[in-house]
Amino acid sequence: MNAQAIFSTASRQYQKGQYTDALNQLNVLMEINRDTKTYVLLAKVLVKLGFKAEAARAYQLAGEAGGSRAEDYLTDAMKLYFANGQEDEALSIGLPLLEKAKTDAEIAFIIASIFLKRGEKEILGLFKAPLTLSTNRLHNALAFKLLTAEINDLQDRDALANLFRNNPKNTTLRSAHLVYAREANDYAEVEKHERDIQRALKAGQTEILAAEAPYYHATWCGDESFNRVAGAQLNPFPSSLTEVRRAAPHRWGERIRIGYVSADFWDDHATMKLLKAVLMAHDKTRFDVTLFCHTKSALAARDQDIRARWGRIVEIGDLSDDEAAHVIRQENIDILVDLKGHTLESRVSIFNRAAAPVQVGWLGFPGTTVNVDLDYIIGDPCVLPDSSKAHYYEKYCRLPETYQPNDPYERARPRAMSRKDVGLPEDAFVFASFNANRKISLQTVNLWIDILRQTPGSLLWVLCDRADARTNLLAKFKSAGVDTKRIVICGKFAYQNHVDRVPLADLGLDTYPYNGHTTTSEQLWAGLPVLSFKGTNFASRVSESLLNAIGVPELVATGPEDYVKEAVALYNNRDKIADYRKRLDENRFRMPLFDAERFCQHLETGYEMMADRAKRGLAPDHIDVPALPPRIGSFER
C-alpha cells in the first residue's frame, strides 16, 4: 500500500472516531513519509486519544516543515504545550510569534500568562490590546491583571474602555473605567454613568462600591456611609488579628517609641512640606522617632543630609510586608503611624501583620482606612465630628485645632511676580484653582460655571497638566455657554515659582467632595483667600479645618448654593478680599495653622494618651486632646 493510500485510510478512520486504528496506520506511514499533512493528522488523532504532549510535538513538526499554515500549526502546538503544563516548550514556540500575538488573543493569553507567573512584567504591555478586544472572559480577566494602575498610562485607559465595553454589567470594570474618565475630566462619560450609580446606591446596592479603590472613590463621593464600603472586599484582614496584636506582650520604655511609615520621606514631596517641621520639633527626651522608609532610592539619596534631621531612618523598601513588620517589631515600636493610607505607593499591609501594639492612620488618606488594622485615626473636631463616628473603623484621636501640620520655617515665601509673567490681565477678577484636575468633579465644575455666569469679565485660572483633561475641561465650559477665553489653564511650576504666582489670583475656589488639602494651606500661606463650603465627609471638610485654624472661618459657605452666592459677592467687593488678605498676613505667624511647635505638642499629647490606654490594657477609645493656652505673640523666626 502506498503512502497516499495509508493516509486516506487513517483519515477515514479518524473521521469515524476509530482513533486507535488511525494511529496504527499513521505509525506505519511515518516510516515511509513524514510531510506536513501527516503530522497534522497525527496531532489530531493524538489529541483525541489524550496524548497532549505528543500531539503538541506533532503540530510543532508540522509548523517547522513550513508552508502557508505553518504559524497556525505552531500556534496549535503552543496551546497544547501550555494546556499540558509544558511552559518552556510553549514559550519557545510563542516568542517567535510575538508579532502575531499583537492581534491573536489566544497566543497573547498564553505568553502573557507565563510571563506574569514568572514575574517578568516588562513585556506584558504588548498583550493588553488583544486580550481586551477579545470576548473571552478568561482573556479579559488576565488583561485586567496586566493593568499597571498608572493613572497616566493611556494604554491602560484604552484597555479598560475595551474591557468595560465587553462587560458592561461588571461594576468593578465600570469603577476602574471611570477612574480614567475622571482623571481626564471626561464629564460626558462620567455623566453617562452617574445616574445608574446613584440609582443603585439609593436602592441600597452598596456592593457596587466594594471593589472600588478608596482614594478614587473619595474624589467623587462625599457620603461617609458609602466611603466606608469602598474597597471593602479587597484584602480583608482576619477579624481575630486585632485582639491578638493588642494582647501580645510588649516592653514599654521610658520614652515612647514612634514609628512613621511612608514612601514620601523626600524633601520636595507635598507631605514633607507639611510634616518635616513637626518631625524636627518632637521632644527627644520623651519620644524616640523612627522613620520606616520605602521612598524610592534615587529620591532618598538626593535628600540624605536633610532626611537625617527628621528622625532615625530604617529602610524597608526592599523588604516584603512580612519582613518589614518583623523589623518594626524588632525595633520595639510602641505606636506605628501610617502616613499613606489608600494612596499610591502605600504599604498599609504591613499594619495587617501585628507590627506594633498601637497602630494609627494620619495625614495620607482623608477618611477611614478600610481593611487595615488601625486603632486610631488622627483628625480634629471639624473633619471628624461626633456624627461621623459610626462610619469609621478606627477610634478618633482629635487634635484641638487642626489635624494638618505645617512647616513655617523652611517653606518658601512668595516673591514679587506680576500677572504679566503668567499671562493674566492686570485688571480682571481672577478666580483660581490649583488642585489636581481629578478633584474638579462634575459638581465642582457646574458650580464654577454658575459663578462665571454671574461675574462678567472674570477669569478662572486653573491648574491642569494633562492635554486630554484640558480639552475636556474647556469643552465642558463651552457647552455651558462660557467663553473659553475666560478659562486660563496653567501647568505645574517648581515649588518656589508656584508660591510666587498664587497671590496673583483674587480668590481661590475650593473643590468638592475632595477639597484642596496641601493645596489649600499653600494658598493660605501665600496670602490668597480660599472659598470653600461645609463638607459631608473628611475629604470635603479639610479646607474648613484649615480656614478655621488661620482665623478666617467666614470663607466657609454653608453649602453649594451659598458658595456660589459668596463667590459672586466677593467678586463685587474687592475691599472684603483685601481685608481677608490682611488677616491672612497678620495671622500667618500667630494662629495655629502654621504653628508647628504648638501642633507637635498637641500631637505628642495624643500619643501619650494612646500609650497610656495601651499600657493599662484598655482597648482604644475616642480621644480628644486638650488645647494648650492660646499663644501670645508671634512664632516667626
66-100 pLDDT, tens digit each: 888 999 999 999 999 999 999 999 999 988 988 88
What DSSP element (H or E) covers 158?
helix 154-166
Highest mean pLDDT among 48-62, 297-311, 444-458: 444-458
> For residues 436 and 516, what is the distance between their CA atoms, to the nearest angstrom?
8
Q: Determine the pLDDT at residue 1.
A: 64
Q: Determine the pLDDT at residue 516.
A: 98
What's 45's domain CATH number? 1.25.40.10
Q: CB neighbours (10 Å) of residue 156?
A: 21
Q: Which domain holds residue 10?
A: 3-146
243-253 pLDDT, tens digit each: 999 999 999 99
613 lies in a domain? Answer: no
Instruction: Check residues 630 and 148 and name the one with the higher pLDDT.
Output: 630
Amino acid (one-letter) located at 307? R
Contacts of 125 (CB under 8 A, 6+ apart): 146, 155
406 lies in a domain? Answer: no
What DSSP element (H or E) covers 568?
helix 560-571
> For residues 94 and 74, what is the distance between their CA atoms, to the nearest angstrom?
8
- 70-79, 280-289, 566-575, 597-606: range with lowest mean pLDDT: 70-79
210 and 283 assigned to the same domain: no
Contact 219, 533 (CB under 8 A): no
323 and 185 assigned to the same domain: no
Residue with cell 500677572: 419
198-209: burial string, b at 16+ Cβ within 10 Å, e else: eeebeeeeeebb
350 lies in a domain? Answer: yes
Q: Determine the pLDDT at residue 31.
A: 86
600 lies in a domain? Answer: no
Contact 282, 311 (CB under 8 A): yes
* CA-based R_g, the chain, Å: 31
User: What's the chain's average pLDDT?
Assistant: 94
Contact 377, 394 (CB under 8 A): yes
430 and 577 assigned to the same domain: yes
Residues forming a β-bridge with 475: none
> For residues 627 and 77, what is the distance between their CA atoms, to the nearest angstrom?
74
185-243 pLDDT, tens digit each: 999 999 999 999 999 999 999 999 988 999 999 999 999 999 999 988 777 788 899 99
289 lies in a domain? Answer: yes
Is residue 276's pLDDT more than 70? Answer: yes
Averaged pLDDT, 380-387: 99
State the pTM of this model: 0.89
632 lies in a domain? Answer: no
171 and 28 assigned to the same domain: no
Instruction: Check residues 5 and 110 and name the one with the higher pLDDT.
Output: 110
Q: Which of 193, 227, 261 is the last residue of a domain?
A: 227
84 lies in a domain? Answer: yes
**Strand duo 312-315 + 335-338: pairing:** unpaired
407 lies in a domain? Answer: no
> For residues 76 and 107, what is the distance between their CA atoms, to the nearest angstrom?
9
Q: Which of 146, 177, 202 is the last residue of a domain?
A: 146
DSSP secondary structure string, 314-327?
A: EE-TTS-HHHHHHH
26 and 45 assigned to the same domain: yes
Chain centroid to CA 95: 34
Chain centroid to CA 13: 60
- 61-70, 344-353, 620-629: range with lowest mean pLDDT: 61-70
140 and 194 assigned to the same domain: no
Omega cis (within 30) before 513: yes
Averaged pLDDT, 320-349: 97
- 30-44, 251-265, 334-348, 613-627: range with lowest mean pLDDT: 30-44
Residue 287's region, left for phi above 0, alpha for psi from -120 to 50, else beta, is beta
Contact 568, 449 (CB under 8 A): no
389 and 323 assigned to the same domain: yes
Q: Determine the pLDDT at residue 149.
A: 72
> For residues 547 and 517, what is the distance between their CA atoms, to the nearest angstrom?
11
| Measured distance between the N- and C-terminal CA atoms of the chain, rounded to whole angstroms | 105
Cell numbers that stand for 501 in this block: 504666582
Amino acid (one-letter) located at 282? H
> For residues 170 and 133, what is the distance between their CA atoms, to the nearest angstrom?
16
Q: Determine the pLDDT at residue 246.
A: 97
Contact 537, 388 (CB under 8 A): yes
338 and 390 assigned to the same domain: yes
487 and 508 assigned to the same domain: yes
Is residue 468's pLDDT more than 90? Answer: yes
Q: Which of 86, 118, 146 is the last residue of a domain?
A: 146
547-585 pLDDT, tens digit each: 999 999 999 999 999 999 999 999 999 999 999 999 999
69 and 165 assigned to the same domain: no
* CA dihedral sign of residues 227, 542, 625, 351: positive
Residue 465 DSSP code: -
The total domain count for the chain is 4
